Amino acid sequence: MIETRFKIAMLVAVAIFASFPIMGILRGTQLPPIEPDLPEAPAADVRASGAEDTPVEETMVNIPAGPFMRGTLAGGFDEQPVKTIYLATYAIDKYEVTNHQYEAFVAATGHRKAGPPSRYAKNMVRMRGVNQPVVYVSWDDAEAYCKWKGKRLPTEAEWEKAMRGTDKRLWPWGNEIDPLASNWAVAKDGYEVAAPVGSFKRDVSPFGVADGAGNVIEWVADWYGENIYNDSADRNPAGPEFGTYKVLRGGGYTTSGTDVRVTSRSKMVPDFRDETIGFRCAVSGGFAEGKTQSVKGRKLTENRNSRE
């Protein structure tokens, strides 16, 4: 008798669970929430003009010696304390290193190509533009490229000063967040992935360095230290002597929230490669105002304001 009742109970339970899909169909499918309207800007107001298949000129911008305010109280714990840092003169790439430039390095040296594991290769179709920033490069790949060019990766402090200027701004264009000013994840800007470098006219620092708040996140030279701002020197700081993670700076096309602040710090193991991570290079020393000098056959440019 008990066995018969148990069988009946099991059959009833099976019938109830089996009915759930049918009940759902009868009630109709409930759609997921609709994505809220994102800001959308006319392309002419956001993007720079120019042919995307013509390689962009490789130029560097001189950053003069002097102090700047590093860090912010508006950020995370590792962005504090705010401190005046003095940096010697250096120059930094105006744009992130592009596919065209990196492919020349690969062809000349036999270094491995930029790219993901083969199972992800289909995702690279949209990332191969001549002037799109090179991605899927590790920290070691980035360092090797910069050395080949007679340059180096910028320090964390150099990157921040180049993007921030000397007036303590939180974004390259000022202190007000603007979802339409750079290539990141909270606006319909016409780019699903990284844009050709220099495409966003407002994402340019007071020194004239482009794409600090958007496009791709960038490797810099330093090992990551959560409390390094408390311990580092106030002149030309270079970060910890060793560590587990390398520092990444800037926002990328998948970034949202306030992570696009030019004070924001990220970290990753140095052998990591991803479609959101690229880099740019720097060199120590400067050049006379209004003059140019050769760096591996490339040109250094004088400072230019973002409103030129």
Structurally, the chain folds into a number of domains equal to 1
pLDDT at 187: 79
Task: Please classify residue 250 by burial: count the beta carbons closer than 10 Å to its beta carbon, then call 0-12 exposed, 13-18 middle and 19+ buried.
Answer: buried
> What one-character-per-residue DSSP string does 212-274 give?
SSSSSEEEEEEEP-TTHHHHS-SBS----SS-S-EEEES--TT--TTTTSTT-EEEE-TT---
Q: Are 122 and 188 in contact (CB under 8 A)?
A: no
Q: Are 183 and 203 in contact (CB under 8 A)?
A: yes
pLDDT at 24: 40
Could you tell me the CATH number of the domain that includes residue 219? 3.90.1580.10
Rounded Cα gap, residues 81 and 73, in angstroms: 7
- Please report whether residue 306 resides in a domain: no
pLDDT at 29: 34
- Please report whether residue 213 resides in a domain: yes
Name the residue type at position 254: T
Q: Apex CA 62: angle with CA 58 and CA 63, to 5°?
A: 135
Tell whether pTM > 0.85.
no
Q: HSE of 307 in the Cβ direction (CA atoms, 13 Å)?
A: 3
- Please report whether residue 112 resides in a domain: yes
Q: Are 278 and 133 in contact (CB under 8 A)?
A: yes
pLDDT at 53: 81
- Please report whether residue 20 resides in a domain: no
- Please report whether residue 224 resides in a domain: yes
Domain enclosing residue 146, as ranges: 50-301
pLDDT at 190: 85
One digit per residue, pLDDT tens: the chain, 308 residues? Answer: 545 555 555 555 545 545 544 444 333 333 333 344 556 655 444 454 344 689 999 999 999 999 999 999 988 999 999 999 999 999 999 999 999 999 999 999 999 999 876 555 556 778 899 999 999 999 999 999 999 999 999 999 999 999 999 999 999 999 998 989 999 998 788 899 999 999 999 999 999 999 999 999 999 999 999 999 998 899 999 999 999 999 999 999 999 877 789 999 999 999 999 999 999 999 999 644 434 344 444 444 444 433 33
Name the residue type at position 171: W
Q: Are 217 and 276 in contact (CB under 8 A)?
A: yes
Give the burial string for 174-200 (b: 16+ CB within 10 Å, else e): eeeebbbbbbbbebebebebbbbbbbb
pLDDT at 270: 98
- Please report whether residue 37 resides in a domain: no
- Please report whether residue 36 resides in a domain: no
pLDDT at 20: 44
Q: Are 300 and 64 in contact (CB under 8 A)?
A: no
pLDDT at 196: 97
- Please report whether residue 7 resides in a domain: no
